[in-house]
Amino acid sequence: MTETKAVKSEQTRALIVVTALRLFRERGYEATTMRAIAKEAGVSVGNAYYYFGSKEELIQAYYDELQDEHAAACRAVLAAEKDFAPRLLGVLKARVDTMVPYHEFAGKFFKFAAEPTSPLNPFSAESGPARDSAVAIYREVVDGSDLKIDKEFRKELPELLWLYSMGVVLYWVHDSSPGCRKTYLLVERTVPLVNRMVSMSRIPGFKSVTRELVDIIRDVRA
C-alpha cells in the first residue's frame, strides 16, 4: 500500500512538472499561475503547492530532470572512450541533444534565468544541486580520461568545463538554425581547441600560466 502511494505521488509530481512546462511554453512564465497549473493537471491548488511551493521550484525540478537526462545520455560515450577530447565532445553533444526539445521554451524563459538576483539563475544558491550534478559530469570526463596534467589544474578543470558548457547553452538559446545545427557545429569546432589548450598546460612554459589561472579561480571563488 505504501509503495503504491509513493508511485502515485511521484506520478502526480511528474504530471505537475510536465503541465507547468507546457503552460510556460504556451502562455509564458509570468502569465502562468500555480492555480492554472493545478487546474490543467487536474489536481487541487493545495495539492500543487504540496509538491512545489512556487513556480521557481517547478523550474528547479525541470533543471534537475534535464540534468538527469543529460547524465543518462552521457553513459555510452563515457564508458567507451578514454581520450579526453572524444569524452568531452560526446558529453557536450549529449547536452545539446537533451536541450533541443525545450528550445522554444528556453528562448522565452531566458530573461528570467539571466536575471542575476533570480533563484532561477544557474549560478544561484537555489540552482546549486543541478549545478553540482553538472560539474560532477565534467569531473567524470576528466577523471576517466588519460589526461596527464598538473594535479591542481585537474581539480579546477571540471568547473571550467562546466562554464564552457554554459557558453554553449547561451549560444544555443539564440540559435535559430534548423535543429540547432550551428550549436552542434560550435561544439565540434571548439572541443579540439579546448583539448589543445588543456594539453598545453603540461608544457613547462605554460605551467606557470596554468597555476596563475588556478589561483585566480580560487581567489574569485573565495
163 and 208 assigned to the same domain: yes
Predicted local confidence at residue 222, as pLDDT: 67
Most trustworthy range by pLDDT among 106-110, 114-118, 194-198, 202-206? 194-198
86 and 102 assigned to the same domain: yes
Secondary structure (DSSP) of 169-182? HHHHHT--SGGGHH
Q: Which of 112-121, 125-134, 202-211 is the least confident region?
A: 202-211
- Distance (Å, rounded) from C-alpha 97 to C-alpha 100? 6
Short-list 114, 127, 92, 91, CA closest to 173: 114
C-alpha cell at 20: 507547468
How big is the CA angle at 95 (ends 90 and 97), to the nearest 5 degrees?
A: 90
Q: Which residue is associated with the grid cell 589548450? A: 197
Average pLDDT over every residue of 144-172: 92
Higher per-residue pLDDT: 31 or 165 = 165
46 and 67 assigned to the same domain: no
Predicted local confidence at residue 169, as pLDDT: 94
Contacts for 201 with CB less than 8 Å, ≥ 6 apart: 149, 150, 153, 207, 209, 210
133-160: buried (b, 16+ CB within 10 Å) or exposed (e) per residue? Answer: ebbebbbbbbeebebebbeebbebbbbb
33 and 121 assigned to the same domain: no
159 and 179 assigned to the same domain: yes
Residue 103 has pLDDT above 90, yes or no: no
**What is the extent of the structural domain holding 132?**
56-221
Question: In which band, very low, low, confident or very high, does the pLDDT at 1 lie, cut at 50, 70 and 90?
Answer: low
- Distance (Å, rounded) from C-alpha 147 to C-alpha 141? 10
Mind listing the pLDDT tens digit for each residue in 44-64?
999 999 999 888 888 888 888
Q: What is the dihedral of CA 51, 15, 102, 56, to 10 degrees?
A: -20
Predicted local confidence at residue 25, as pLDDT: 78
Predicted local confidence at residue 196, as pLDDT: 92
**Domain count across the chain:** 2
Contact between 15 and 41 (Cβ < 8 Å): yes
146 and 124 assigned to the same domain: yes
CATH number of the domain that residue 106 is part of? 1.10.357.10
40 and 121 assigned to the same domain: no
C-alpha cell at 153: 589544474
How far is the CA of 190 from the CAs of 113, 150, 165, 183, 196, in angstroms? 25, 22, 11, 11, 10
Residue 3 has pLDDT above 70, yes or no: no
Q: Is the CA virtual torsion 102, 69, 167, 91 positive or negative?
A: negative
Predicted local confidence at residue 73, as pLDDT: 95
Model-level pTM? 0.84
Q: Which of 52-56, 143-147, 203-207 is the least confident region?
A: 203-207
Average pLDDT over every residue of 64-79: 92
160 and 94 assigned to the same domain: yes
19 and 1 assigned to the same domain: yes
118 and 62 assigned to the same domain: yes
Looking at 53, 72, 97, the residue that finishes a domain is 53
